[in-house]
Amino acid sequence: MGRLGFLFNPDGNMPKGEIKSRDVDFDFLGLLTENTDGNDIKSNGAIKLDEDSIYIELRSRLNGKVKDAFEIAYDDLNAEDIDRIADNKVQLNLDNRTIQLKTLDHDMLNNFESRLKNKLNTGSFVPEEEKIRHVIADVPAEIRKYHELLKDGIITAEEFEKKKKELLNN
């Protein structure tokens, strides 16, 4: 876990309220329990899956102010380090700590876990089959394109029908 580091509070001793929150839409909001050497520290957690790292804000459970913020590089984590320990809990097992995420919003947690595992397994937040569906989103336009190729004699009627069936079955 060499690249686990603090972004806004490198010394861990800045006065309260000096850490500024990023103005972003977070992928996870809920209870975050950080366990280091057997000590549990509970905070409200706000997590954003950035392109290069996981950005985490720890917020006060009383007033919601940002207490600390850090990032975890994707290189420091793999899909096997992510455990679904309950319907409403996901745990990230890092070398020097564990981070448990808990929420009552199952859809948010499922989406967060799915996107994180996709990123770790494929390097992308979007599953491969979903990328393919987005590429061929306009099926009628694709069929028209192949029909033009048929009319121009570039493909045969059999090839056109095969491609048309393939597009319509997606």
> Could you tell me which of 25, 26, 24, 28 has the C-alpha nearest to residue 88?
28
Please provide the size of the chain in residues.
170
Same domain, 140 and 115: no
What tens digit of pLDDT does each residue of 85-125 get? 999 999 999 998 999 999 988 889 999 999 999 899 888 87
* Element at 101 (helix H, strand E): strand 98-102
Same domain, 72 and 9: yes
Same domain, 84 and 140: no
DSSP per-residue string spanning 29-87: EEEEEEEETTEEEEEEEEEEE-SSEEEEEEE-TTT--EEEEEEEEGGG--GGGEEEEET
Question: Which of 22-26, 100-104, 148-152 shows the lowest per-residue confidence on average (mean pLDDT)?
Answer: 22-26
Assigned domain for 130 exists: no
Entry pTM? 0.62
Q: Are 84 and 106 in contact (CB under 8 A)?
A: no
Residues spanned by the domain of 59: 5-125
Tokens of 65: 């102010």
Q: Are 88 and 110 in contact (CB under 8 A)?
A: no
Per the listing, tokens 């987005």 go with 134
Same domain, 83 and 21: yes
Tokens of 167: 């597009």
What's the pLDDT at 125?
77
Same domain, 45 and 94: yes
What tens digit of pLDDT does each residue of 67-82 get? 999 999 999 999 999 9
- Provide the number of structural domains found in the chain: 2
Alpha carbon separation from 20 to 24, 65, 145 (Å, rounded): 12, 9, 52
Assigned domain for 92 exists: yes
What's the pLDDT at 166?
82
